[in-house]
Structure 1
Amino acid sequence: MQEPGRFTRIEDSVDALIARVGKKLVVAMPLGIGKPNPWINALYHRAKADPEIDLWIITALSLDRPHGRSLIERRFLGPFAERVFGNYPNMDYAEDDRRGRLPPNVRVSEFFLKTSAYIGNASVQRNYIYSNYTHAVRDALTLGVNVYAQALAVEQTPEGPRYSLSCNSDLTRDAIEMSREMGNPLVQVGVVNRELPFMPNDAVIEPELVDILVDDPAGTHTMFGTPNMRVDDQDYGISLWTSTTVRDAGMLQIGIGSLGDGIAQALITRDQDNASYRAMIEALAPGRTPAWAQLDPFKEGLYGCSEMFVNGFMALIDAGVVRREVFDHEGLQKLLNAHRITSTPDAALLAALAEDKVVSSPLNDADFAMLRHFGILKDEVSFAGGVLTLGDQSVPARLDDPAVSSALSEGWLGTKLKHGRLIHAGFFIGPNAFYQRLRDLPRELLDKIDMTRISFVNDTFGHEGIAVAQRQHARFINTSMMATLLGAAVSDALESGDLVSGVGGQYNFVAQGQTLPGARSVMMLRAWRTNSAGKPISNIVWSYGHVTIPRHLRDIFVTEYGVADVRGQPEGEVVKRMLAIADSRFQDELLAKAKKQGKVEPDYEIPAEQRQNLPEVLEARLAAFRASGKLPDFPFGTDFEPVELAAAKALMKLKRQRKSPLALAAALLRGLTRPVAKPEVLERLGLTKPKTLSERFWRALVAGNL
């Protein structure tokens, strides 16, 4: 007989939900890959078929399989998507929303968008909810959310199945607890996806918290894998400079994409091949390596605390760079930070606990539980009536007595502190190899990864003490699209008001960088980009009609040309330091605007050594390291096959050429008149023997770019 609230068919669970909640459904789901795609598709199609159902979906980062627009893009992406994305199902509501085809009884709101995917989409832009990540639950509940649906991982144990929030522990517990506090408990739906890696610790969810649990084979599917992107010279320049801001024994937060991979590669090189690392930094600015730059290998290692657990972090853990374990106890962590104790329990550790009054004397029940939990005392030790007992031996439970500490160190103590964490994170997403690595991790290492609440990771409110203790020397590294010359950052939207992505956790991390002792906020940006007309333009501007981070929170900016530490600096000095990391093609124009506004002296001139901020100079300075393999295109592997990489390179050239008729014509001429350099690319794209005029045209363009 089936238990109440437990279902083996998705459609039955939808019936049960409607019977329980009614036809007014405000459904929240996690961002990214924690959505139960088949389940939400079933509910969405039920609403499409029944106009009486009022469905409002509130979520973020709805991810669909890549699809090409042109013939050539579809031929390139088709086989790749089949291989990489397997049976991953698109979310039908997202596709209809993108095409403007949502039925009138369905509404979709997101608080973070797939980057640039919805610029100009009126429906998506109109229904967007502008929330900090840490406020997403609060804001969603005020809109009447009555259902929270999430994909779950499952682990079989002798006692029965255990369930895990896996990739998205970020918002779920806060949503359950806050809805109860508001007197309107939501219905928690969990859909098992056996492809999800089972994550322990805070990710494990008690079955009684799941009102509707669905274990239907249709709920299991390939996870959305984000292929590693190529780390180019611009990315490596930014990443190398950023890595010099990271302190040993500190905390690290990074994001996804080529910059995240570049930083991870730079930090690994710094630790494992320090001579090459120092040579790279010297090459970036010959004779001008800043005195503050952190260049040494890591003695103690780093701890990760990041809203997103990404492939780069896994590489840092595997390389032993992220190796500084932290513990969920403020007093214990402070003693470790001060190097007054080590991770090996001994008499000195016991004495330090007593001296700083981390434990009482004599011990109480809570103290004893703490000592057992962290492995300071062996599990075999018992406690009663103020006495510690091991076998037929007993001692008074007073750690402030040197004789007791000495006695306990003879066989009563554990061999190593337990329950240390290498990383706290709210959600994860990455390439397929990353997911497989998580599935294959030894349990001892997996237990050191704690997927937990975003309210813990992205904020310090309510847990300031442990945050300060664990997050020493924190570096919160984020990315912006643009920055103003006065130190504001533009990261999520255009001055037109169109949302590009979302603020996510950026504000919270910047705020932590300003408030935690010894912490810094590091904002990375590419100094220049190519606009829609194919023209290079500066990403450092005088001003912009929208900012994500206001300039009173300015801290450290990094481009491929260097580091600008602008925290607490006068306006004029901020301008000079930002000019020093701007692309030299735009420095004169920026300087003229600053002089016009009186922000720098009329006779100020940019130093000659800062006038070499040019792409070709950067390329030359990194060329030797590129050639030697020290700066690989894909430091942590790629889902693309060699022929696909060659094809992708040609197609990217072609995309840029579309903005220039002359460049396009030149490529066409080359393709028609020269031998094909890589015929396997044409074969991969089905252009070896073109049958139509369109195919002949595409063949010539692709061949002209090989």
Structure 2
Amino acid sequence: MRNMSLDEAVDFLLDRVEGPIRIGTPLGLGKPNPFLNRLYERMRPDSSRGLEFYTALSLDPPRVKGLLAENFFGPFAERQFGPNYPRLSYVNDVLKNKLPDHIRVYEFFVQAGLYKNNPRAQADYVSLNYTHVVANLVERGVNCIAQLVARGPDGRLSLSCNPDLTLDLVDQSAAKGRTLVKIAVVHEGLPFLGGPAAVPADYFDLILEGPEHAQELFAIPRMPFEVSDHLIGLHASQLPVDDGTLQIGIGALAEALSYSLILRHERNALYRQLVGRLPSNPMGPPISHEPFRAGLYGMSEMVMDSFMHLRKAGILTREVQNKKSPHPRYLHGGFFLGSKPFYAWLKGLSEKDRRGISMTRISKINDLYDEDEAAVRAQRKNARFFNSTMQVSLLGEALSDTLQDGRVISGVGGQYNFVAMSRELPDAYSTLLLRSTWHDGKRRRSNIVMHGGHVT
């Protein structure tokens, strides 16, 4: 079914599901904001029927206060997010402490710091490893999903930016005989990515497209690096070895790492001069300063701008191939999120390069469990997993998501999975990137602490 209005689509969902609406919607980019907003606005005044959102990373553009700040920020916001970006209505009410009692928002990963001082959001945060989310959704009785998709020339749909949890949720719900109403919203700006992300049109119960359902894709602003970020990236760039596997987490430190990897590959003499000035660490893992001749294979829960730059630089070139895949892959990912140029790059890839990217279920990315586990282990040779952390204790405990007073800043996500995987693979190493200090507005404080508090 297609070409319904927003209100007709909401009516469709309310008629198909009995009792409370427990809706799953993707982490990050794949949320159909106009549909979710209309659903929320329709159910907000009616306390006779519950509404529960199950999601993660509900992206919210920066908010400013005051006429001067608005006049300064407004033109940038319009260029970056579009003139009428549809903010999520439930996020607005969570931030204003106006969420009705019959509506709950459960997130397993949140926009960094967005809910730091919000008691309701803190209480409804669900601490889960990425690979455990689907089982939790099934247990909690999620009965519908809604997400953005891309349409292919042959009529098929692609889960594009978010096959990460959808594929497993649909399979596990069906296996348990659970009702799951599936709603897709076609977005013209999303690239059609095949492989596991491609599904037939009848995969969904309702397909929406048209001007009323259109929205700007949320694009992350590209921020400048601090000198300390570049030095951290320079240190870390010595760890990947040629003919290896690379996973990169989210944030500026990961981008600084990719910058130094490109420097190592393209301007090797200068790179060697720079790393020659760094202190050595004889206790650390093996290091390399060579350019990448065989290349690296990307395997990361999040695909972002860094992988685009590495591919353009001729680094992301090592390919692997599964028995069921007709095409070799240079990159496997669970979800993608990045800048406008990154989305344009994905959209404009050649057929060969597009086939080299496999967006798939997170259970295939963040774990080694597979029907052909031996092949997966062989593919992930010389693996280097890079993620960021906020603080580290003197005992080596990493605090990556929660402050010592218990307030959640972001979430565990998949960090645990990659630390654990590094212990399962014989030639793999997990590296946590850390800024040694932070500034509280008055003085500089250390991120090396005596006690761990809430340890990730």
Q: TM-score with structure 1 length normalisation? A: 0.63
How big is the shift at 1:485?
A: 1.6
How big is the shift at 1:282?
A: 1.1
Residue 62 (structure 1) aligned to one of 58, 64, 75: 58
Residue 93 (structure 1) aligned to one of 90, 97, 100: 90
> Contact 1:228/1:257 (CA < 8 Å) preserved in 2?
no
> Contact 2:398/2:452 (CA < 8 Å) preserved in 1?
no
Q: Which amino acid aligns with 2:73?
A: L
Higher relative contact order (CA 8 A, sep 6+): 2
Aligned to 2:109: 112
Question: 2: CA distance between counterparts of 1:209 and 1:196?
Answer: 18
Query: How does 1:385-464 map onto structure 2 within 5 Å?
Result: 419-463=327-371, 464=373
Question: 1: CA distance between counterparts of 2:4 and 2:152?
Answer: 17
> Contact 2:189/2:347 (CA < 8 Å) preserved in 1?
no
How big is the shift at 1:232?
A: 1.5
Query: How does 1:14-33 map onto structure 2 within 5 Å?
Result: 14-33=10-29
Aligned to 1:197: 191
Aligned to 1:82: 78
Aligned to 1:180: 174
Question: 2: CA distance between counterparts of 1:70 and 1:313?
Answer: 38
> Contact 2:285/2:429 (CA < 8 Å) preserved in 1?
no
Q: Which amino acid aligns with 1:37?
A: N
Equivalent position SS for 1:421: coil
Write the deviation string for residues 460-489 of structure 1: whole angstroms up to 9, x where unpaired: 123432220110010110000011122111
How big is the shift at 1:188?
A: 0.9
How big is the shift at 1:288?
A: 9.2
Equivalent position SS for 2:455: coil
Equivalent position SS for 2:44: helix
Q: State yes or no: 1:537 paired with 2:445.
A: yes
5+ unaligned residues in a row in structure 1: which ranges?
330-369, 375-418, 549-706
Equivalent position SS for 2:152: strand
Query: How does 1:331-346 map onto structure 2 within 5 Å?
Result: none
Write the deviation string for residues 358-385 of structure 1: whole angstroms up to 9, x where unpaired: xxxxxxxxxxxx7xx75xxxxxxxxxxx
Q: Which amino acid aligns with 1:196?
A: L
How big is the shift at 1:517?
A: 1.8
Equivalent position SS for 1:77: helix
Aligned to 1:12: 8
Aligned to 1:39: 35
How big is the shift at 1:287?
A: 12
> Contact 1:225/1:429 (CA < 8 Å) preserved in 2?
yes
Aligned to 2:226: 232
Question: 2: CA distance between counterparts of 1:304 and 1:252?
Answer: 5
5+ unaligned residues in a row in structure 2: which ranges?
none
Equivalent position SS for 1:129: coil
Query: Sequence identity, in percent?
Result: 41
Aligned to 1:215: 209
Question: 1: CA distance between counterparts of 2:166 and 2:433?
Answer: 30
Aligned to 1:297: 291
Q: Which amino acid aligns with 1:531?
A: D
How big is the shift at 1:290?
A: 8.1
Question: 2: CA distance between counterparts of 1:299 and 1:313?
Answer: 17
Question: 2: CA distance between counterparts of 1:92 and 1:307?
Answer: 28
Q: State yes or no: 1:272 paired with 2:269.
A: no
Aligned to 2:137: 140
Q: Assess, with a 3 A threshold, how the Cα gap between structure 1 residues 114 and 298 changes in structure 2: closer, same or farther.
A: same
> Contact 2:250/2:388 (CA < 8 Å) preserved in 1?
no
Aligned to 1:482: 391
Q: State yes or no: 1:51 paired with 2:71.
A: no
4+ runs deviating over 6 angstroms: 286-291
Equivalent position SS for 1:175: helix
How big is the shift at 1:291?
A: 9.5
Aligned to 2:153: 156
Question: 1: CA distance between counterparts of 2:384 and 2:284?
Answer: 18
Write the deviation string for residues 557-586 of structure 1: whole angstroms up to 9, x where unpaired: xxxxxxxxxxxxxxxxxxxxxxxxxxxxxx
How big is the shift at 1:125?
A: 0.6
Question: 2: CA distance between counterparts of 1:168 and 1:294?
Answer: 34
How big is the shift at 1:10?
A: 2.1
Equivalent position SS for 1:76: helix
How big is the shift at 1:111?
A: 0.6
Aligned to 1:257: 251
Range with bigger deviation, 107-116 or 13-22: 13-22
How big is the shift at 1:267?
A: 0.7
Q: Which amino acid aligns with 1:44?
A: Y
- Write 1 or 2 for the structure with the bigger share of helix: 1
Aligned to 2:429: 520
Q: Which amino acid aligns with 2:365?
A: V
Question: 2: CA distance between counterparts of 1:145 and 1:288?
Answer: 51
How big is the shift at 1:144?
A: 1.2
Aligned to 1:326: 320
Q: State yes or no: 1:507 paired with 2:416.
A: yes
The structure with more radius of gyration? 1
Structure 1 vs Structure 2 CA RMSD: 1.8
Q: Which amino acid aligns with 1:80?
A: F
> Contact 1:228/1:258 (CA < 8 Å) preserved in 2?
no
